[in-house]
Each structure stands twice: as structure tokens, then as C-alpha cells.
Structure 1
Amino acid sequence: MARVLPFPALLSTLGSQLETDRPGARGVPQPSHIRPLLEAPNPDAELERWRASGAVLRDPRPALYVVELHGPAGRLSGPPVRFLLCSLRPDAAAPLEHDPYRPRSWCAEPAITLAADDHGVLRTLLAEAAERGGVVWQGAFDGARVVLRRIEPSAVSKRIQSVLDEAPMRPLAALDEQHPTLAAVVPLSDPGLQLEPIHRALKGVETFKEETFLTLVNAYARTYELDEPLTTPRGLAAARERLATLISGQHAVLLVLPEGRGKILRFRQGLDLAHLKGAPRNPTLRSLDLALLNSLVLRTVLGIKDPEAPAHPHVFPVRELESLVQGVQSGIFQAGFALNPPPVWEVRAVMEAAATLPPWTLRVEPLPPAGLLFLDPQA
């Protein structure tokens, strides 16, 4: 288990509006003021220069922080999503995914960490701490209101630490093995937290011939036609709804084809996956949509070797369904497979089984922006 601790933060002067820069390494928008730090040859050394020059000021009192992310302006939304910013000591915290993202700086990019919170205790404590915490900064980023609050050492902060000492926690990024990591812990029980899928695109796969593929995949999945093209907002919305409603007791993926065509593949029940060479040995992982796609479709039907391997020459992760459709439409990709969002209970089961997901399985929305505060490399 990892250990959550208060830390003396490095704070910078921020305006009320954080300017959005181009997406970073994970395709995530970042505030423009953090870009010189993350692109420096040695980000931690650059952060130390910022501290020495007075560009950031060190708060000598260790504390925890809560960052609140409100819904975008003009949209109906409930309570804000709250992340606990803390120092995370990597005692034995295995990442949730194989080959996790490695931050350019463990002091500047918060490692998103999911915490099991089956009864909502952590969520309630973060709300209570936010009510009592003092505002360090508030403003807007990427169309949404952001509030950073300082949680003084108190009975509430001790209760938060006590809960997290016992709760299963899994980071989505690699942690620094030698030093504490700046982490953003979020309870899985937060109703505003969205777990989004990462889709798959194919390029240069010689074995993919549409008619032959559909014939072979019929042994593992039933095919459903879509009424409208995927190149229109209405068609995309209908495809998402159809994909989500066909999975009662089963699993399905959306096959994206050229000319805006799409078909839904619903995997047949009672498939014996244990004998397949490419199927995960862990029964919990065998129930994941991505595991079924990798083992049944990519490995078995198409004969692609190690589709989960990082930087695969023929299988590419794609974050957004719109980008996947556009890539196939423009000819960048041959075809694509879109997935449903992973349900919270499924991610919780993976954590409970002490298993790890295939690379590029999921992403979290919303995300706290980097650069609200920093972990002092010298602390």
C-alpha cells in the first residue's frame, strides 16, 4: 500500500484564467505556464531554478490540498469532482495499467490515483475538508471553474490519511521509486468522475480484409448493422447508444469502417477463453471488453502478434471516437474498434484481484491541471 502524506508545496502566482496550451504527451491540455518546465531537459532541476529565482514560493508548513473541478460553464452539473493533492510514498503501489505513463516530472504532474471508496467515506471527507479549507487559488481552465484549497493539519486531514491507509489505491501513472510523488487521489465513488475508454485503430494489417474478417469473426460475435453513418453527430450518438444498450450480460465493440460505415460486434456468450493463447490468465481480466478484443479479434481472427505491446506498428490507441472515425475516413487507418467506457465495478474488481490492465485501457475525466502547485524536489 502507498502512504499519503502532507507536504510543503511550492506555489506560483497564477492569474484568474489559466491559458490552455497544446496537448501534452498524453493528449491532455496543460496550462501554458507549465510548458517550459515539462519540456526542460531536467524538469526537476528547472523547478529548483524557479524556486531559487523566486518564481515559486515554498510553503514551509506541510499540508494536504483539495482541488475542485466544476462542470463547464453553461452545462448542467452536480457537485464538483474533488481530487486530494498529496505526497505519495511508493511503498508497494502497483500501477493500474501495464506500461503506465511516466511523467516528465514527478514533482509537477500529479499522478492520478484511483481510490476504492465503496461506501463513499472518502468522498464525504473530501467534501468536509473542502468546506473548511482555505482558498489558495480559484479561476478557470479549459472552460471549467477550478478551486484549490489548503487543508490544514486537523482531525479531518488525519481521518483522510487513516482512510487512505486502508483503502486500495492504484495510480494510473508510474511513481518515482526513490522519492515521493505528487499525486491526485480521487475516490471511485465520485459521481462526477468519468472513466473513458481508449479505442484501437488498425494500420497496415495485411490480414484485414473486410468481407473475410466479418466471416471469420462470426464464430465469436454477432454482427449488428447501424442505421446512420458515423460521420454525423446524430450517427455517432446513435452508435454510442446502441453499443451501450447491447451489452446486457454480454460484451460488444463498435467496428469503424471507411465511408462512415459502422457495425457492432456483440461477443457470444459461453465462449471458452481459457484455452486461447492470447487470453489473460486472470479470469477478472478475461471479462474486460479490451481483453476480448485483443484475444478474440486482434490475436485470433487477425493473427496480430502482441497487440498490447507499446508502440505497436499496426495497432494504435485513440482517445476519442470522433478522432477514430476521422482517421478511418481519411485513410490514415484501415479500420477501428471503439469500446464502451469501463464500468467502475469492473475497475474495482481488477484492483481487488491485484491485477493490472492492458496498456492504454482507460483515461479519467475530468483531470486537474498541472502547475497549480509543485512538490519541492529538495523536500
Structure 2
Amino acid sequence: MARVHPFTALLTSLEPRLEPSDYVPRSNAAPQPSHVRPLLESANPTAELRRLKSAGALLKDARPAMYLVEIHSPAGKLGGPPVRFLLCALDPEAAVPLEHDPYRPRAWEVEPAVTLTADDHGVLRGLLAEASERAITVWQGQYDGHPMSLRRIEPSPVAKRIQAVLDEAPMRPLAALDEGGPSLAAVVPLSDPGLEFQPIHRALKGVETFKEETFLTLVTAYARVYELDEPLDTPRGLGAARERLATLISGQHAVLLVLPGGRGRILRFRQGLDLAHLKGAPRNPTLRSLDLALLNALVLRTVLGIKDPEAPGHPQVFPVQGLESLVRGVQEGTFQAGFALNPPPLWEVRAVMEAQATLPSRTLRVEPLPPAGLLFLDREA
């Protein structure tokens, strides 16, 4: 049985420029334009969507189809081809989410579950580009500075070829799928050059075992400690630290320790560490090579003695999006200290998919993301 299906869409009238709401999405949650936020914040989004449909506020597509969302780089960034997401219906048994404790949408008909798809030879990427040339433009405009378009892929030979490729390709959603029926999904090939992985950093709060001098002494058993040339509380220092963390010698793993007063250190893990004997290390050798796994096993569990630091809702370890937010939180005293990570490289994510493994909770987020509310999945059709 095919995992990806055409679906009957419910379309709404969209303005040429969609305004973002002030909602801050969790990890890989779809951004919420202002027009769709009241729907998602209603007591029962599914019932509210049904009411809007009955009231004639939504236009029902004539027949099932798949759609293509194209997101271009915002002004001021390097230009290039758009990132293409295939909007489709995804079966609940189609794929296990890529991360533990994935984001759970309030409405599976409204928020597209971004789904990474292995595309080692670029076949799917080529098919989506081919489909785009023949697709019908439903809407074209901007969202949050990104030029964007929504196109309808008519039932056709190219649509069947897309489905055939996806039937065989490893797929991993970044959000939970509805167990009771199909979910609206936004499938994107890993081969898309415009797709970016952003890391989810970690911050500490209320950890009595964290004493800076003692910690820096103990952590040398597992990592070399490097001073930073400039403080982290300036744009120049922040940029220099980010570049240094990202450009260490190939094959090395490192994290950036963020301390109060704009201070910081780079911790570069020693090579040849035997992690298999550590109780907190992942059993899967592919997962043991992740920066976040090394941070959890060596630093948080072993050096600081924190139990289950990767557990969802941990009272002492907090996920933080954005290095600026992490530095600001430590500066303001919200957190004791923080650990900034590099994003996992594409080949590492691909290896995790191939090993049928699952990443720790909130390992990465994807940019760009297609916003919610471009269309809705009609589950009653």
C-alpha cells in the first residue's frame, strides 16, 4: 500500500502577503500565519475546521491531488532554486518520527508534518522540479520575507512517478503522525541544497554539581578546553565563536560552553574515546557519533551526574533555539550555563535513517518550514 497519497484539499482565500503571528513554534512546528492562529488555538481545531467548511468559508478541491510549496530565499541572502515541499496525505504507519518526543500538531489537517526523505541520487528533487513546471499556480505571495508559491500537481504520469519513488525511499517525519488517519505532510528530499539543519542547544538551570572551575578540571578527561579570543556578548565575538565551532578539524566533535559575563570555552572531545562502556551512551554506534549524544553521555551524565538529561521536560536541562537566545539567557541569569552545538551534518542524519534509529528529543530543526494554513486536508472526503 502506498504511504503517500493525493488528498482532497480545503482552500482558503489568501492575501498576497501573509503576516506571521507572534507565536514562537516549538522545534519543527509549522509557523503560524496570523490568519490561521485562531483556528489552531480553538478548543477543537478539527471541529472548527468542519464548521468553516459547512459555513462555506473554505473551497473544496474538485478531486484529490498533491500540491507543491516552493519557498525562495529571503532578500539579502544568496539566491538559488527554491526549496520544494510536496504536500500530500501520509499514512500513520508510514514512518517512525526521526526524533524522540516529536512535536504533536494540534490539528493534523492544518499543520504539515515536515518529512525528510532520502534522495541520494537526486531523483525526487528532479521529479519535483519537473512537476513544478507543469503544475497549476494556486497562490503566490510572501510569508515573513520569503517569496512563496503553492502549486497543484494534477493526477498525471509525473505524479505517479513521485509516488513510486516515495514508496521505496526511507522517510522520517519530524512531527508525530495521527494514529487515527492520514496526516497532512510536507515531504522534502534531503538532497535539496536549500534545506538547512539548525541545532537545538542545551541550557542548565539548578544543577548543584556545576561549579565552573571544578567542571573545567573534570571535563579535561574527555575534552580539550580552548579559550575564545572575544566575548560572546558582542556580535563579532558571537560570530567568531560560531565560525570556530563549525570549522574545527574534520572528524572532531566539539561544543561551545556558554558562561555568564559573555565568557565561553570550546570543548573539543578527544578522539578514540570508548563510549560503549558508558551507561548513558547510546547502544547504537551511529547515534554515539552525534555531538548531542557525546554531550549527554560524557558531559551531562558522567561529569555533572545529571540523570536522563535527554528526557522530555527535564527540570534541569532545557532545549534552546538559537545561539543568541542561549547567550542572552545565561547573561540574564535565566540559566547557569549553556552548551551550543553544531547542526548534525546531512550525512549523519542520513546514516541515522539508514540505521532505522531515532535521534534524541529536539536534536535539530529544519529551515525553511512551510507555514500552516496554505491549505487544509479534508478528512471527511
Name the TM-score class by shorter chain: over 0.9
Matching of residues 244-323 of structure 1 within 5 Å: 244-323=246-325
Aligned residue number for residue 216 of structure 1: 218
Deviations 1:299-355 (A, max 9, x none): 000000000111110000001000000000111000000000110000000000000
Three-state SS of the structure 1 residue aligned to 2:71 is strand
TM-score for both structures, normalised by structure 2: 0.98
Matching of residues 18-29 of structure 1 within 5 Å: 18-26=18-26, 29=31
Preserved contact between residue 2 and residue 163 of structure 2 (Cα < 8 Å)? no
Preserved contact between residue 48 and residue 377 of structure 1 (Cα < 8 Å)? no
TM-score for both structures, normalised by structure 1: 0.98
Preserved contact between residue 2 and residue 93 of structure 1 (Cα < 8 Å)? no
Three-state SS of the structure 2 residue aligned to 1:197 is strand
Question: Which residue of 48, 51, 56 maps to 2:50?
Answer: 48
Question: Which residue of 105, 108, 133 maps to 2:107?
Answer: 105
Does 94-103 or 240-249 show the bigger shift?
A: 240-249
Preserved contact between residue 122 and residue 160 of structure 1 (Cα < 8 Å)? yes
Distance 1:92 1:128, change over 3 A: closer
Aligned residue number for residue 166 of structure 1: 168
Q: Distance in 2 between matches of 1:247 and 1:254?
A: 15
Amino acid across the alignment from 1:122 = L
Aligned residue number for residue 5 of structure 1: 5
Q: CA deviation at 1:187?
A: 0.3
Preserved contact between residue 99 and residue 359 of structure 1 (Cα < 8 Å)? yes
Does 226-235 or 290-299 show the bigger shift?
A: 226-235
Preserved contact between residue 65 and residue 85 of structure 1 (Cα < 8 Å)? yes
Three-state SS of the structure 2 residue aligned to 1:293 is helix
Matching of residues 330-341 of structure 1 within 5 Å: 330-341=332-343
Amino acid across the alignment from 2:4 = V
Aligned residue number for residue 377 of structure 2: 375
Three-state SS of the structure 2 residue aligned to 1:71 is coil
Q: Distance in 2 between matches of 1:376 and 1:355?
A: 32
Matching of residues 217-232 of structure 1 within 5 Å: 217-232=219-234
Preserved contact between residue 110 and residue 184 of structure 1 (Cα < 8 Å)? yes
Distance 1:252 1:226, change over 3 A: same
Residue 186 (structure 2) pairs with residue 184 (structure 1): yes
Structure 2 unaligned spans of 5+: none
**What is the number of equivalent residue pairs in this alignment?**
379
Matching of residues 339-358 of structure 1 within 5 Å: 339-358=341-360
Q: CA deviation at 1:23?
A: 2.1
Does 197-206 or 84-93 show the bigger shift?
A: 84-93
Question: Which residue of 139, 147, 150 maps to 1:148?
Answer: 150
Aligned residue number for residue 365 of structure 2: 363
Amino acid across the alignment from 1:26 = R
Q: Distance in 2 between matches of 1:157 and 1:232?
A: 50
Three-state SS of the structure 1 residue aligned to 2:130 is helix
Amino acid across the alignment from 2:137 = V
Percent identical residues: 78
Three-state SS of the structure 2 residue aligned to 1:223 is strand
Amino acid across the alignment from 2:359 = L
Preserved contact between residue 6 and residue 66 of structure 2 (Cα < 8 Å)? yes
Q: CA deviation at 1:178?
A: 1.6
Amino acid across the alignment from 2:17 = Q
Three-state SS of the structure 2 residue aligned to 1:218 is helix
Amino acid across the alignment from 1:304 = I
Preserved contact between residue 101 and residue 172 of structure 1 (Cα < 8 Å)? yes
Q: CA deviation at 1:57?
A: 1.0
Runs of 4+ in 1 over 2 A off after TM superposition: none
Amino acid across the alignment from 2:34 = S
Preserved contact between residue 198 and residue 365 of structure 2 (Cα < 8 Å)? yes
Q: Distance in 2 between matches of 1:18 and 1:240?
A: 32
Three-state SS of the structure 2 residue aligned to 1:66 is strand
Q: Distance in 2 between matches of 1:77 and 1:370?
A: 24
Three-state SS of the structure 2 residue aligned to 1:122 is helix
Deviations 1:255-278 (A, max 9, x none): 000111111000000101000000
Preserved contact between residue 44 and residue 377 of structure 1 (Cα < 8 Å)? no
Preserved contact between residue 3 and residue 94 of structure 2 (Cα < 8 Å)? no
TM-align CA RMSD:
1.1
Amino acid across the alignment from 1:327 = G
